[in-house]
Chain A
Amino acid sequence: MSSSRDDFSIAFRSALLQRGAAQKFSLFSLIILALIIFFLDIYSFNFIKPIRSIINDGVYRISLVASSPSRFVPHVTEGFTNLINIKNENERLKKELELYKQKELNVEYLENQNKNLKKILDSEETFLGKENIILSKVLIDKNSPYLKSIIINRGSKSGILKGMPVLDKEYLVGRIVETNYLSSRVLLLNDLNSRIPVTFGEDGIQGILKGNGGTRPVLEYLPEGYIIEEGLDVFTSGKDGIFSPGSPIGKTFANGEVKLFSEASQLSFVKIDTAKINKENF
């Protein structure tokens, strides 16, 4: 009995402390270091914030570069499928020339569109005719089993602040939860940690839209005994003072879930509404 306990302690100590020829650090020292970093980050000591911000910006940029092959492959596959389809269509309709011309025009159109979008993105004056709206590109949308968030290419340098609402076209998709100098993290509406005050229906029923980690957030804190009708449009109520009232979010289901107007996995560009927070700062 005592011998097996000795074996256990020897093997455990060896695993924890031994470095060996190939290992420069012992597991024990690294576990302690990880714990120290964790608690420093959790309790947000002042000196940690700028360091974390620099690390975030750096890692997000590297991540963007590292992810380019994974973005390129679906494009290639999609392009390949299109090519086959076009070829079949050409054979069937015998209108090769017209289709190629059309394709050429499409490319030209896309090139022009791309140039215009690049101009907009490169410019710091990204108001698009509307004041207090900043256009931003989605840098990373790595899907986590636990957190639903995206990284965008605008940070405190562009005036982004924590809490600002983020829109896809006119639809609300989430809010800023972390800002770095050149990038920010957006917490999406379907994340478990998301809570948005909303209103819906002809009577202007008030409620809270709570993310559940799935694809459809749920309505909570509704009037007692209220039965939700299907197909009602849900809007932000603006009761929290952060979101502008009237931003469309989605449509209700009878079970209290809301189908969002904007598909979180399809976001390429988003808009950040800085109006509310700017007014408050003023």
Chain B
Amino acid sequence: MFNIYSLRKIINYGPLVLLYYLSISEIDSHFESYFEILSFNIQLIIIYFWAIKRPEVLGNGHIFFAGLINDVVMGYPLGISSLSYLIVSLVATYIKNMTVNTSITTDWFTFFIAIFFSNATFLFLLLNFSEIKITFLDLSYNTFFTLIFFPFFWFIFNLYNTIITSGKNA
């Protein structure tokens, strides 16, 4: 009984562990060697999905902290990724408050709004206050592919969510 409870608790932490791991490890989602413009941001998908489906899985503090770690590893000014992640979380929470039932299409559309505001803030702060130069085109490709890959991760995370919640509803 205790083991099953512990295992369920560990499984519950899965998305949080994945978020931290992607932020701190060398694993990246930039496939320059296969297709030069192919890059996407899995962290934004994780945050949006879990903030809209089960906000208790990812705490706001954890999202903020994962962003700080990402900034250090990537070499961005501290706080910029945190801000970007928190904006995604803010849009997700707002959508959750405003809607009753969501489907993949509504989630997909609203995710576009979330990453638009998130990446716009990222670009605005970086271009206006930092010496780091990034191209609008690279950011647009990243936004586009993040949006394209969203349904794929939505299905995986939805399956995971079903596994987490299956025992609780019984």
Contact = CB atoms under 8 A, between A and B. Distances in A.
Given A37-B82, A140-B26, A214-B36, A147 B94 contact: no
Interface residues of B, number: 53
Contacts of B60: 23-27, 30
Contact of A63 (B26, B61, B125, B142): B26
A166 to B, nearest CB: 15
A142 B133 contact: no
A56 B73 CA distance: 8
Interface string A19-44: 01111111100110111111111100
B79 A193 contact: no
Contacts of B68: 37
B86 A70 contact: no
Contact of B59 (A24, A31, A34, A146): A24
B21 interface: yes
A38 B80 contact: yes
A268 interface: no
Interface of B: 21, 24-28, 30, 32-33, 36, 39, 55-56, 59-61, 63-64, 67-69, 72-80, 82-83, 86-87, 89-90, 93-94, 96-98, 125, 129-135, 138-139, 141-142
Given A15-B90, A42-B77, A143-B32, 8 more contacts: A11-B98, A33-B79, A35-B83, A140-B26, A143-B28, A144-B74, A146-B134, A192-B133
Interface of A: 7, 11-12, 14-16, 18, 20-27, 30-31, 33-42, 52, 55-56, 59-60, 62-63, 66-67, 70-71, 140-147, 149, 178, 185, 192-193, 213-215, 265
